[in-house]
Chains A and B, each alone.
Chain A
Amino acid sequence: MTRNWPHIRHIALALFCAAGAIYIVAPLAIVVLNSFSSTAYNVFPPEGYSLRWYENLAQQGAFLGAAVRSVILATLATAIALVIGTLSAYALVKYRLRGRDIVKAFLMAPVVLPSIVLGVALFIFFVRVGIAYSYPGLLLTHVLVVTPFVIAITAAGFSNFDWSTEEAAMDLGAGPIRTFFRVVLPQIRAGVLTAGLFAWITSFDQVETTLFLVRPGDNTLPIEMFLYLQKWQDPTIAALSSLLILLAVAIVIVMSIAGRNRTPDGLVMQGKETSK
């Protein structure tokens, strides 16, 4: 039986989803809009438009320094986490270890813990051990936060992996290490890249875990912004936020081009599902 008009519930759902999209985009859109406002106070609609906040931003060296610090930290943490996480995921997926579920739950534990708890615990521990405010401590903290996601996403990337290709490589004379680099890694490349991207963003956006671990004056970008927001609410922060949103949009565009023949199911962050 065909209908000429879509059923009422289809229309209702479509409207709801459209409203949902607006809900999702609204705060980001308003931030971008606000960054061009000519007034220091927030008002809708803006009374005038100007670029003064971007100029103001350019003069705030603190933000630039924080941004650079965040980028370097995220990149280093991601690199380390990718190595640790991929090896762990490989070990977990390939071998039928006794107690594999317990091991997996143990490695996923940092995800279950509220970030502030982890941050404070690490801070107290570092003070105790005498390495408070150290860069290695901060770096390793980010590695700790990010590695569970790398493990989960990479492990999921093994789901379609043909293990007989590994045996074939060894049968043809390649030892375990050469097999891993020439046969295993190229096949799970997509999962590793996804994990890396997700890890990088997660590290870049960390706030609660990092609050007490940065040397005062050497803040990462989100913390610099967070502290700024506790004092002032002028649109300078909107200008900075707009740039970050632009970065996010760029990443989305790159991802959509790269994943053109994949359904959203392929984009699902399986990492989130394994916090059980």
Chain B
Amino acid sequence: MRQGVEFVSVSKVFGGHVAVNGINFHIPEGSFFSLLGPSGCGKSTTLRMLAGFEDPDQGEIWIGDQRADGVPAYRRPTNMVFQRWALFPHMTVHENVAFGPSVRGARGGELNRQVAEALELVGLGAYGARKPRQLSGGQMQRVALARALVNKPKVLLLDEPLGALDLKLRMQMQIELKRLQESVGATFVYVTHDQSEALTMSDNIAIMSEGSIHQIGSPHEVYDAPKTRFVATFLGNANALPVDVESVAGDTAAVSLKGLRFAASVGAAPTNGKGDIVLRYEAIRIGAAAAAMDVRTKARIREVVFSGSAIDYVLETEQGIELTAQQPHIADEKPHERGALVDIGWQARAARLFPQK
């Protein structure tokens, strides 16, 4: 008995360009699943194939225990929240939300009840008579949500819905979306290029690039244990260091760069003796904290960049390696100064080794 959503070897080609290249994944029913990747990676195409606006050229799509590919969009148990909301401009908010149920035959009192319930759910109970052009971006967002959720879909699809909102509103909506998903219980499939959205809301994330899925896992898994160089560099901020690989033994490797020899964890083993080390900014400790780290060396501070909640230090190690380190900014603690020579260090497992690009 299948559950949730499943993609089996799905491919899609546009003209000569392979947008989606044989992807496989399973989304557990009732979870919050994100497709994360840069522009053009195929995440929107994947979502649209799930919605029914595109047909896969190869492969199968399953929603629950029924095959979905080949079924037109208006017959699928999915509903979508569009990027620019796609509200019907000639209808009021009430009529917009009522559209889905009315197509399925709801009328009169029953219809009004469903609409009212959906609008209450998104906090817009009093806005029924307004037209879309009278609403703010955030309000339109919620109407789009209500219009989709009123149909009680099995799967709710969200296509970068928060992109047009300002930062504060976006963060507020992220919390609301997560809350909604938990109370409604439907499977949410969320497409975005913004990693903080994916990391804060998702139960599972699929990282995509150039039509393929690089890794699927929980936010912690993909962040701390990236399996490809792309995933490692896409999430967070990281240093990418080209190294010589001296030996590989299972999960660990010994590498060297400009005379600095250290251990690293293996993300993917290189084959030709050369590799790239991905080391996150926040993994490098400076000063007293460096003493407890596996890998230790000294470095001179070249630049200090203050960005509010964190401070970035651009460093050059004794061996001449350029690194950037990030420390949280704690008020009252003095930041290190430009030109200072400091101890730096990191844990071996924080450095992930991948084949060279």
Contacts and interface: CB of A to CB of B under 8 A. Distances in A.
Given A165-B87, A165-B88, A187-B90, A174 B82 contact: no
A97 to B, nearest CB: 15
A183 B91 CA distance: 9
B151 A172 contact: yes
A170 interface: yes
Interface residues of B, number: 25
Interface in B70-112: 72-75, 78-80, 82-84, 86-90, 99-100, 103-104
Contacts of A164: 82-84, 86
B87 A171 contact: no
A186 interface: yes
A62 interface: no
A167 interface: yes
Contact of A169 (B52, B72, B75, B99): B99
B103 A174 contact: yes
B74 A174 contact: yes
A162 interface: yes
A217 interface: no
A173 B103 contact: yes
Interface in A17-50: none
Interface string B97-132: 001100110000000000000000000000000000
A183 B89 CA distance: 9
Contacts of B89: 162, 165, 187
Chain A: interface secondary structure? helix
A245 to B, nearest CB: 36
Closest 10 CB pairs of A and B: A164-B86, A172-B100, A168-B86, A173-B103, A186-B90, A170-B73, A170-B74, A171-B80, A165-B86, A174-B103
B154 interface: no
Nearest to B75: A173
A170 B282 CA distance: 46
Nearest to A173: B103
8 contacts: A168-B86, A168-B87, A169-B88, A170-B52, A171-B74, A171-B80, A172-B79, A183-B88
Contacts of B51: 167, 171
Interface string B39-65: 000000000000111000000000000
Nearest to B95: A182
B220 to A, nearest CB: 33
Given A168-B82, A178-B103, A173 B74 contact: yes
Size range of the chain A interface in the assembly: 10 to 19
B74 A168 contact: no
Interface of A: 162, 164-165, 167-175, 178-179, 182-183, 186-187
A170 B100 CA distance: 9
B53 A175 contact: no
Given A165-B88, A186-B90, A187-B90, A171 B79 contact: yes
Nearest to B157: A171
B300 interface: no
Contacts of A179: 74
B328 to A, nearest CB: 41
Contacts of A170: 52-53, 72-74
Interface in B3-23: none
Contacts of A172: 74, 79, 99-100, 103, 147-148, 151
Contacts of B104: 173
Given A164-B84, A178-B103, A171 B90 contact: no
B154 to A, nearest CB: 13
A43 B94 CA distance: 66
Contacts of B72: 170, 175
Nearest to A162: B86
A49 to B, nearest CB: 51
A167 B90 contact: no
Contacts of B75: 173
Nearest to A169: B99
A43 B67 CA distance: 84
- Listed residue (A169, A170, A172) with the most chain B CB atoms within 10 angstroms of its CB: A172
